[in-house]
């Protein structure tokens, strides 16, 4: 496959995924089709980015449906579906990268080793195929910054392109995990985006310390929905802003549990 991706096939656009494709993924693929001569999609559920093995086992898998959705966009898209051995050999272990603290906050703090696993597999794919462009959704904004940092620190030729979050009609960020929600949970899930919009609408009116309390109170109204964290950070370093500052220049991040399902979202506060 690498030999096939010669100069004649360039520019090459790659969309790394873990499958269970939804319209958010498809929007990345459609953009890649517009901007490149050749498209490569990887479907690989990366074991090293799961700190919870039950989460890995429950991750949705539907390769036939994924291939059907890709084929509807174009018959000429290359799809790479490696086994774990193809990526890791006999040693299923993350490499260690200096991520300059991007992996130590929020999702990195909650999910130990997660971003080292992400960095390991994405670096492997980018080194192997040397795509000209690689596309990732802003729904996982922290992941996007980690991957962009990896590409620059390793001096890879790939340009990392972040694409806007695709949302359901009620604002819920599209995610492969959404299919795990019951119908009642699904109705409540849009409250994550509501909370972010509430924070954005008040970011210029109240200092961050007050805003955090207001968002916490917003979620206390809904017992079934448990807020894990709400933070406003610098959009480049992900360092939390000072409690006495106003958050309208930052980016808001939220994580919450619906039963055992954990959902995340983020929004520019400006």
DSSP 8-state assignment for residue 130: -
Query: Based on the number of CB atoms within 10 Å of its own CB, is 139 exposed (0-12), middle (13-18) or buried (19 or more)?
Result: buried
| Residues 66, 17: Cα–Cα separation, whole Å | 10
**25: annotated active-site residue:** yes
Nearest to 17 by CA among 158, 133, 176: 176
Catalytic choice (25, 114, 124, 133): 25
HSE of 27, CA atoms in CB hemisphere, 13 A:
16
Pairing assessment for the beta strands 261-268 and 38-43 based on DSSP bridges: unpaired
Whether residue 193 contacts residue 171, with contact meaning beta carbons closer than 8 Å, is answered with yes
* Catalytic positions: 25
């Amino acid at each position: 496959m690498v030999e096939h991706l010669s100069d004649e096939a360039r520019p090459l656009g790659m969309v790394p995924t873990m499958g269970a494709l939804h319209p958010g993924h498809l929007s990345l693929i459609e953009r890649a089709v517009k901007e490149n001569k050749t498209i490569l999609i990887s479907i690989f559920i990366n074991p090293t980015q799961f700190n919870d093995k039950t989460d890995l086992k429950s991750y949705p898998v539907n390769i036939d449906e994924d291939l059907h959705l890709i084929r509807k966009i174009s018959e000429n898209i290359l799809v790479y579906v490696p086994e774990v051995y193809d990526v890791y050999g006999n040693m299923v272990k993350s490499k260690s990268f200096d991520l300059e603290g991007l992996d130590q906050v929020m999702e990195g703090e909650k999910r130990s080793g997660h971003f080292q696993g992400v960095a390991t597999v994405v670096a492997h794919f980018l080194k192997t195929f040397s795509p000209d462009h690689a596309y990732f959704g802003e729904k996982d904004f922290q992941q996007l910054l980690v991957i962009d940092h990896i590409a620059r620190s390793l001096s890879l030729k790939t340009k990392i392109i972040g694409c806007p979050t695709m949302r359901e009609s009620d604002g819920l960020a599209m995610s492969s995990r959404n299919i795990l929600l019951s119908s009642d949970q699904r109705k409540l899930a849009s409250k994550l985006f509501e909370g972010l919009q509430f924070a954005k609408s008040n970011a210029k009116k109240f200092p961050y310390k007050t805003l955090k309390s207001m968002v916490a109170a917003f979620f206390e109204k809904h017992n079934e929905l448990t807020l894990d964290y709400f933070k406003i950070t610098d959009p480049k370093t992900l360092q939390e802003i000072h409690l006495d500052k106003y958050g309208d220049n930052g980016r808001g991040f939220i994580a919450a549990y619906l039963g055992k399902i954990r959902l995340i979202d983020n929004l520019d506060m400006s």
